[in-house]
Amino acid sequence: MILKGAEISRYLTKPDPTRPALLIYGQDAMRVALKRAEAIAALTGPNADEEMRLTRIPGADLRKDAALVLDAIKEVGFFPGQRVVFVEDTPDAAAPALKAALEEWAHGDAVIVVTAGGLTKSSALRKLFEPHQSAVVTPIYDDPPGEEEITRWLKEAGLTEVPQTAMRDLLALSRALDPGDFRQTVEKIALYKHGDPEPLTQEDIALMAPATIEAEVDELIDVVADGKSDAFGALMRRIEAQGIAPVTLCIAALHHFRALHAAAADPGGPQAGLSRLRPPVFGPRRDRMARQAQSWGMRNLEEAVHHLLDTDLQLRSSSRAPQMALIERALIRLAMMPRGSR
């Protein structure tokens, strides 16, 4: 049985222990690992390791000893409860060993959970599992988790009420982070809000989201985009003392002003435009950038982007002009530019 779309998440949260085996495969090792952990936890319940109800076998070992899986599924445990044999990072060469175990599997034996990387249609593992009458196949794609899955994670962590505005930011955050970081962030948010009668807000999400390494650079670019030239000098000196390269500052400023330009050009307005960026902008930062885009206007943003492109070319050229002075002059000029939609 091959599962697709939302069926995958629903099945992995409650796998059928009467089915002999489950194949989880995909290009993203972190996504596969998260889904595998979820399925095994649902099958075995708590304390599976301590009660020796979970057996781990490296997939590569099956090429040397084909009987490892068959012996493991037939073992009788000391503790009651569902047993699982987990075969990890499984190559196609392990298919014959798994085929023998599937043929001998009987009710009461351990469920076999197999993980693998990206498998082509010609893969021996797929050819073994996909036509099997009872085994389950769950291909894991690089899609971010959807609203149903995020809601379930929050409920499992004890947070049941999520306003739609907060959910939109969580969906945006899921597209910006890798799966492991996003799952940890969701758990962190639920822990932070545990026992709080107030609903989850955009500010809560922004507070719990992982901080970017370039936080001070972002702050400097915001000062420029907000036209706060009086705050520019102290921030610039602090960043200069950290040894951040002038080209890095220029790239960050270009990225920011191009995002503002795209937001200002969006027919749905700056808020919608920022949500459509990849990665999307969410929470209070989206509101701030939307205000910036509206304040600057299309023509001024085009001029700002052209000015930064010229500065970038100078920084990368053979010019002997002091590079930090070049980018500082460019950013000051932007901070002091008149705003408006001319």
Per-residue pLDDT band for 203 (boundaries 50, 70, 90) equals confident
Neighbours of 49 (CB within 10 A): 10
Q: Which amino acid is at 293?
A: A
DSSP secondary structure string, 299-330? HHHHHHHHHHHHHHHHHHSS--S-HHHHHHHH
pLDDT at position 129, please? 97
- Among 55, 52, 106, CA closest to 79: 52
pLDDT at position 237, please? 87
pLDDT at position 339, please? 65
Per-residue pLDDT averaged across 20-37, rounded?
A: 92
Beta strands in 130-265 (DSSP E): 136-139
pLDDT at position 342, please? 42
Percentage of the chain beyond pLDDT 90 is 45
Cis peptide before 279 (omega within 30 of 0): yes
Would you say 266 and 276 are in contact if contact means Cβ atoms under 8 Å apart? yes
pLDDT at position 271, please? 86
Predicted confidence (pLDDT) at residue 124 exceeds the cutoff of 60 = yes
Q: H/E element holding 24?
A: strand 21-25
Fold of 6-139: Rossmann fold (3.40.50)
Per-residue pLDDT band for 215 (boundaries 50, 70, 90) equals low
Distance separating alpha carbons of residues 78 and 216, to the nearest angstrom: 56
Position of tokens 């600057």?
Answer: 296
Answer whether 6-139 and 215-335 agree in fold: no
Which letter, b or e, does each residue of 89-118 get, where b requires 16 or more Cβ atoms within 10 Å of its Cβ? ebebebbebbbebbeebeeebbbbbbbbee
Average pLDDT, the chain: 87
Q: Give the pLDDT confidence of 233-253 residue by residue, as tens digits.
A: 888 888 887 778 888 889 889
Distance separating alpha carbons of residues 331 and 64, to the nearest angstrom: 63
- Among 87, 92, 89, CA closest to 122: 92
Pairwise pLDDT comparison (91 vs 196), residue with the higher score: 91
Give the global pTM. 0.57
Per-residue pLDDT band for 180 (boundaries 50, 70, 90) equals confident
Q: What residue spans define the domains of the chain? A: 6-139, 147-208, 215-335
Per-residue pLDDT band for 211 (boundaries 50, 70, 90) equals low
Position of tokens 């545990």?
Answer: 194
Q: Give the pLDDT confidence of 309-340 residue by residue, as tens digits.
A: 999 888 888 777 788 999 999 999 999 987 65
Output the CATH code of domain 215-335.
1.20.272.10
pLDDT at position 341, please? 47
Predicted confidence (pLDDT) at residue 77 exceeds the cutoff of 70 = yes
pLDDT at position 253, please? 92
Pairwise pLDDT comparison (202 vs 309), residue with the higher score: 309
Terminal Cα distance for the chain, rounded: 60
**For residue 65, what are the contacts with CB-CB under 8 A and spacing of at least 6?**
none
Would you say 327 and 284 are in contact if contact means Cβ atoms under 8 Å apart? no
Per-residue pLDDT band for 56 (boundaries 50, 70, 90) equals very high
